[in-house]
Structure formats: C-alpha cells, structure tokens
Amino acid sequence: MVVALTVWALVKEIFDIKSLFLPSPAEIADAFIQLPDYLMRRAWETLWVTLLGFALAAVGGLIVAILLTASQVVERAVLPLVVALNAVPKVALVPLLIMWLGRGELPKVLLVVLICFFPIVVSTMAGLTSTPADLGELVRSLSASRAQAFVKVRFPWALPHVFVGMKVAMPLAMIGAVVAEISNPNSGLGAVVVNSQPQLNTPLAFAAIALLAAMSVSLFYLVVAAERLLLPWVRETSG
C-alpha cells in the first residue's frame, strides 16, 4: 500500500496531472480532514443500507435454498425463475424501484437484496446437496428423522458453502448500495461522489471512494472472522 501510494504521488508530480483529474493521496487525505463529520455521516448511511440489505438477502437466500433442495419438483419449477431474475441487469431496475417505492432507503435496500440473493442461494444449495453418501447412510442407520438429519448433518455440512456465498455477496452488497445512491443521490457516499462533480471537487470524490473501499474490505473480513469463529472445525479438517 505504501509503495502504491508513493508511485501514485510520483506519477502525479512527474506528469503534472491536474488535481481535477487525479488528486494526490495528500489532497485526498486533506479533503477527508476538512469534512470528517460529513463523510462519516454519509458513510454510516451507506453502511446501514448495505448491512440491512445483506441481512435480508442472507435470511431469504437460506430459506429459499432450503425450500428448493427439499423437493426436486419445487426446485425444477422455481429455480429457473430465480435464474431469470438474476439475469436481469440490476442497474436497469433502479429507476423502476425509485418510481415504485419512492426516493427513500427502501429501493436502495431492495437493490442490495436483489444483488446478494442469488450467490447465497446457489452456494447454500450446493452445500445442502453435497452431503457425503456415507453420512447419509449413517443417519439412516440411526433411524433419524428427516428433520434430525437436516439439523445434525446436512445443514452443518453446508455451512462452509453458505459462508462462501456470503463472502461473495458482501462486496456486491456495497456495490449495490452505491449504485442505488448514485442513481438517487440524496444520501450515502454514492451521493458524495455525484454531488462533488458539479463542484469540481475531485479530492472529495476520491475520499468517498477510499472510504467505500475500506468499508468493503472491512465487511468482507468481518464475514471471514465470523466463519472462523463459528466454524473452527472447517480449518482443522481442511488442513
């Protein structure tokens, strides 16, 4: 990181790039120092939308994946619809969501849910359908019910796959929140980026982008930490 920032500053100085096009790291830091409260307030707005949308997508994705894997008939009927919904470019839905739901937080949260939903569903289904045959035979030999087999064997076996989907979905959640904020720039760091353009305040836009990158990385590693805390046996068995 230090090397990258040093090269960035040197390139700007050597080629005499105007700050309007590419501010230096020092100018970006100065933009943050000038408006820390404003940027942190906007960052919280983006973080709230991201976390709420991600949580709803995680819960909904788990429920849908469980229902789809519970019956092949349901899976064949519903999964193509889920795939078709995921194939729709989510950015194209933003104007419609704003028209239907207004300019508040609801369309932003819903866009995050739509973006995060599919990876969690697919990864959870992969985990639920990958239970080893010998474990299935063991459960049947113990006369376990279907519910007991799911709670004791299938779902714990699927948890590493669930976290894979969550780790994929978390950065997408941040992207979805920012896309919604750029389309509806009344809150969040996405609005900071949009509103800084008429003012030609490129350092402020870069400060907002740097905050978004730091938040996205932090959220990703929070999911990683949760996986290591809740599933310590995964690292032991995979090593």
- Is the residue at 37 inside a domain? no
CB proximity list for 211: less than 8 A, separation 6 or greater: 32, 39, 43, 189
- Is pLDDT at 112 greater than 90 in this prediction? yes
**Integer Cα distance of 50 and 17 in angstroms:** 34
CA angle 56, 147, 71 (to 5 degrees): 70
The pLDDT assigned to 236 comes to: 61
- Is the residue at 3 inside a domain? no
- Is the residue at 191 inside a domain? yes
Q: Count up the domains in the chain and report the number.
A: 1
pLDDT digits (tens, 9 = 90+) for 4-41: 989 999 999 899 899 889 999 999 999 999 999 999 99
Check which CATH number belongs to the domain holding 90 and give it. 1.10.3720.10
Q: How confident is the model at residue 107 (pLDDT cuts 50, 70, 90)?
A: very high
pLDDT digits (tens, 9 = 90+) for 201-229: 999 999 999 999 999 999 999 999 999 99
* Domain range for 141: 48-229
pLDDT digits (tens, 9 = 90+) for 143-196: 777 788 888 888 888 999 999 999 999 999 999 999 999 988 888 999 999 999
- Is the residue at 81 inside a domain? yes
CB proximity list for 215: less than 8 A, separation 6 or greater: 43, 46, 47, 50, 174
pLDDT digits (tens, 9 = 90+) for 55-102: 999 999 999 999 999 888 888 888 888 888 888 888 888 888 988 988
**Integer Cα distance of 225 and 40 in angstroms:** 24
Identify which of 9, 19, 15, 56 has the alpha carbon closest to the alpha carbon of residue 205: 19
- Give mean pLDDT, residues 105-119: 94
The total of other beta-carbon atoms located within 10 Å of residue 174's CB is 26
- Is the residue at 126 inside a domain? yes
